[in-house]
A and B are shown apart, each in its own frame.
Chain A
Amino acid sequence: MSEPLLAIENLHVGFDIYGGHLKVLDGVNFAVGKGEKVGLVGETGCGKTTTMKSVMRILPMPPAKVRNGEVFYKGKDLLRVNLRKVRGVKGEGISMIFQDPTAALNPVFTIGRQLMDVVKYSKVAGKGQSGDKIRERAISALKDVAMPDPERILSNYPIQLSGGMRQRICIAMALVTGWELLIADEPTTSLDVTIQDQVLRLLGGLVEEKGNSTILITHSLGIVREWTDRVYVMYAGNMVEAAPTKQLFSHPLHPYTQGLMKAVPKLTGEGMAEGVTGRIPNYLTPPPGCRFHPRCPHVMPICEQERPPFYDVGDAHQVACYLYKE
């Protein structure tokens, strides 16, 4: 891979709470190349959203605290420049779709007002444009996401739309400005399967068309398999496995990834496998060594002492587990 578009290096993020410091992200490494579709999977509470929010600099600080690490976007360290400049960078290139479209839209303003504001304040699209131009741009964004009757939608309030429509508004909002990297944080979790299918197909089409990069955060392995080129698997604030999608699904290596795959109910109907026993550790006192060792079926003495580094197992497949230390 040549110069990556976004690179996260050794990121440590924690939260100060009453009773101590939650060490959530613990040395996260992550990279997205140009034109790549990357998936990020993991259980609830494993730090997927925290990672992306620290990239966007929208984590509430305090209580959140970046203890260590760098986030490079086109070679610029996003964590070191001041907030004003970050806003400029975001306006130019990074867009994010949030998990819950109901919470992401303001209920007291019309869709038009919210969508046109995004255009107005974005660096590329809105600078010094007349109101009519902005409106036109908003309408074309709604057409892009296959919304029927965009003029009418502009004067509607979020509550007048269905969940699928609201999510499409959020997508339109993220895509209305010039973007090079799209971060989609569980864009379809709150939707039904048939609607989910529609939204994903639409998003896929738009991404393909422009050839830009996407990060898809989700806990659904099925979506990742159908949608991405490369996958990162995250567990308790660590990346445990990274591989091209096909490779990961044919040969999952990390015990956690294997457990996750087994736990997914299959259409072939071979019954339900036992899931991964135990649960995500307490971040106040995370287990030493590999954070997965208390739940791991193949635990070895070394796992309790040292964090496994990423081992290269060929074909751009990396796994953080001592089982693969050749």
Chain B
Amino acid sequence: MAITEQECKELKKRATQIRKDIVDVTGWAGGSHIGGALSMTEIMTLLYWKYLKVDPNNPYWDDRDRFVLSKGHGGVGHAVVLAQKGYFDPELLKEFNHSGSPFGMHLDGNKVKGVDASTGSLGHGLPVAAGMALGARVRKKDWRVYCLMGDGECDEGSIWEAAMAAAHFKLNNLIGFVDRNHLMIDGFTEDIMSLEPLAEKWAAFRWKVYEVDGHSFTELAAAIEAAQAYNDGPAVIIANTIKGKGVDFMENKPGWHYGGLNADLIAKAKAALDREE
């Protein structure tokens, strides 16, 4: 078993705290891409608190693992994780989205410590991550690159250009995630532009595919360790998730791709998260 019950318990607690902070930042910011930030929380928590070899005190450590948030609009979730990891003072997040703040909705790697790639425009993160993984090979380094994509993002042709290249170059140090929450801005993925059969698509592009419950630490951990052990090329973990996870009035609601929260909704959101815990 990749993960102990005790670890699971602690990670769950951490995830709840991350979700609550996302709710707070959404309030301070006047709005955020909260739905997709909540769906990816377990993936982020597990990576940053168990698998990523990084050092918040030395964010540019050459041998670190790289993390690329290809679904760059999840920046609010990434920023909360980085703050909790100690990359910067969490107080700074009170300025999220504000004029002159280093934090915009899509994080700028030149302004925010711990952000390995500036993303936001969809379909860019996987090509960049593939380049980083190839760079490790050229430099004879053993870092891994983890890249978290959105499911709607997989409409972008450049994702598949990079997918083809990562398999061609047998980038076994590259592990992708698809936050499969089934929603995009205009509605459900299968209504707007159907992705299925998604696992078969990745497999046809010669990626090793794992499909898991994206809110289960046990399943995610098992998949990550299997992907790490897979040597023949890149691996992708399709994480089935719920957009808005943990906040009952947001779950599976297309309208909560982006939204703001007043004091009343913040209280309701936190109460819902307490009930989940």
**Do A and B make up one complex?**
no
Q: Name B residues whose Cβ lies closer than 8 Å to a Cβ of A.
A: none
